[in-house]
Amino acid sequence: MSLHHRQAAASSGRTGLLPLALLAILASVAGPGGQESHAGPPAAGKPRVFSVRDYGAVPDDATDDRAAILAAVQAARQAGGGTVTFPPGRFCLSTLELTGLARVTFAGAGRDRTTLQRVGVGPHPLIFRECRDLVLRDLAFDANGCLNYGGTYFDACQRVRITDTRYFDSNTAARRGRRERTDIYSYVFGRGKAHHEDVVITRNLIEDLQFEVDYCRRARITDNVVKRPTSTAGIGTFSLQWEAVPGEDLCGEDFLIARNTIIDLSDCYTAIAVHLDPQYHRDGTPLEGVTYRNLRILNNTIVYTAASAGRAGRAIQVGATDSSRQTKGVVFDQIRVEGNRIYVPPGVQILNDAGSEEVFILGNHSRQFSGGPDFLFTHLTVRNNTLYRDGKPDAEFVAWYARGAHCVVEGNRVRPYRPPPR
């Protein structure tokens, strides 16, 4: 996924509500087009609190609150950090791009009480570039009918924590009738000029959307619920190596994807995906030297529903699809897929594009190149995963290709169907 759209900063009709001193702050620190400049040195003293309402934001109306939110953020920046608070209500937000922001928390009154609703033509309500020490908590985000590549976007950020938020789409009707599935995101950590580092995404509720963390060192994705994810994957991390850059081979390292629940894959290819996408550079040459290291996919719950019948994809996929071009020197090292539970109710059959039953847990690069030095899984453990389903599947429950050294695939079992625990 790449960032396809940038929206120029929009002026707000509520500017007159801002104190003159705050307008002076905006004029002095906002960059061209309303983008923020890089953070200055931290200020001494206790962290400060900046309510967007004090800067002119009004909940539950149709006016864009972008200028007021930017003013509160800039005040936190000038103070060397702080908490930008959102009281209960719905706040409209057109694209706000923030660069170099540090030590700022965005806090609502609870994900069932405070909502930031995307408005305008841009797909992203918030864009963070080269930011660090950020927290997003106790907020809801409304994608509001975004049709492609939406979501809150991060580029080369460090130490980001997203917790106890909700991301939903109040206008899913806008998607109906589309000829192709489209990636529509909640949070997306894209591939930028540097790796993301130390990302924590925990205890969030994602509905009718997906999220992904790409090009990252140290990510903890735990205890989230994703309902009705769209297109590529409910939870994903992808190579995104569009350009051939010598020495830039590490796509992901030290990921924990644990105790998440993904429900209803009727519009999704994979519940959890770690793979090469795209599998080639812009010039058409295959990827070379891509490495994923220390990935743990543990104790997740994946629930198929009656709506999934005949349409949904795999539960877990690591590698790349059978349509991938031949890649060179690709290594997946220290991969653990353990203790995951997959529930398929009676009468539901999961089919692939060829009309045969789909593999539920798959690791490969292509059936055409099933091994050899050009694509290897080393130090691989796929163990004690359980498929709850009546009858023997037509396809393998676990199919893992291109194994290298120290690989263990054992203890994976099919059990009679039972409903997932609540």
Run of H or E residues at 187: strand 185-190
Whether residue 422 lies inside any domain: the answer is no
Q: Alpha-carbon distance 317 to 238, whole Å? A: 11
Dist. CA 102–CA 44, nearest whole Å: 14
Question: Who has greater pLDDT, 198 or 351?
Answer: 198
Going by their DSSP bridges, the two strands 216-222 and 196-202 should be labelled as: parallel
Domain of 110?
82-415
pLDDT at residue 360 in the model: 86
Cα 205 off chain centre by: 12
At 381, the amino acid letter reads: T
CA 14 from chain centre, in angstroms, equals: 32
Say if CB 195 and CB 169 are below 8 A apart: no
Percent of the chain predicted with pLDDT > 90: 45
d(CA 105, CA 132): 11
- What are 124-144's pLDDT values in tens digits? 899 999 999 999 999 999 988
What is the rounded CA–CA span in Å between residue 375 and residue 401? 9
Answer whether residue 198 is part of any domain.
Answer: yes
Would you say the C-alpha torsion 201, 204, 205, 207 has a positive or negative sign?
A: negative
Inside any domain, residue 197 = yes
Any domain includes 149: yes
Cα–Cα distance between 238 and 396 in angstroms, integer?
25
Considering 15-24, 101-110, 163-172, 224-233, the range whose residues carry the highest mean pLDDT is 101-110
- What's the CA gap between 50 and 53, in Å, rounded? 9
pLDDT of amino acid 171: 81
Q: Give the global pTM.
A: 0.84
Predicted confidence (pLDDT) per residue in 175-205, tens digit:
654 445 566 778 888 877 788 999 999 999 9
8 A C-beta contact, residue 281 and residue 322: no
Q: Do residues 330 and 290 make contact, with C-beta atoms less than 8 angstroms apart?
A: yes
Provide the pLDDT for residue 18: 41
124 occurs within a structural domain: yes
Higher pLDDT, 162 or 170: 162
pLDDT of residue 47: 61
Residue 324 reports pLDDT greater than 90: no
Judge whether residue 152 has pLDDT over 70: yes
**What's CA 299's distance to the chain center, in Å?**
19
How high is the pLDDT of residue 170? 87
* 259: number of Cβ within 10 Å: 15
Q: What is the pLDDT of residue 117?
A: 94
- The predicted pLDDT at position 422 comes to 81
How confident is the model over 270-294, as pLDDT tens digits?
Answer: 899 987 766 666 666 666 667 888 9
What tens digit of pLDDT does each residue of 60-71 get? 999 999 999 999
11: pLDDT strictly greater than 50: no
Average pLDDT over residues 374-383: 83
pLDDT at site 157? 96
Residue 395 has pLDDT above 90, yes or no: no
Looking at per-residue pLDDT, the higher value among 36 and 333 belongs to 333
Domain CATH code at residue 275:
2.160.20
The identity of residue 83, as a single letter, is: T
What is the pLDDT at residue 46?
Answer: 60
Q: Is residue 2 part of a domain?
A: no
- Do the domain assignments include residue 337? yes
**263: in domain:** yes
Q: Which amino acid is at 185?
A: Y
Residue 96 pLDDT > 70: yes
| pLDDT, the chain, mean | 79
Measured distance CA(224)–CA(221) in Å, rounded: 7
d(CA 203, CA 341): 19
Q: What is the pLDDT of residue 54?
A: 96
Rounded to 5 degrees, φ, ψ at 377 are -105, 120
Confidence of residue 1 (pLDDT cuts 50, 70, 90): very low
**What is the mean predicted confidence (pLDDT) over 1-20?**
34
Residue 364 scores a pLDDT above 50: yes
Domain count, the chain: 1
pLDDT tens digits for 296-309?
A: 999 999 999 988 77
Question: 322: Cβ–Cβ under 8 A, 6 or more apart, which residues?
Answer: 364, 366, 367, 368
pLDDT band at 37 (very low <50, low <70, confident <90, very high): very low
Say yes or no to pLDDT of 15 above 80: no
Residue 24's pLDDT band (boundaries 50, 70, 90)?
very low
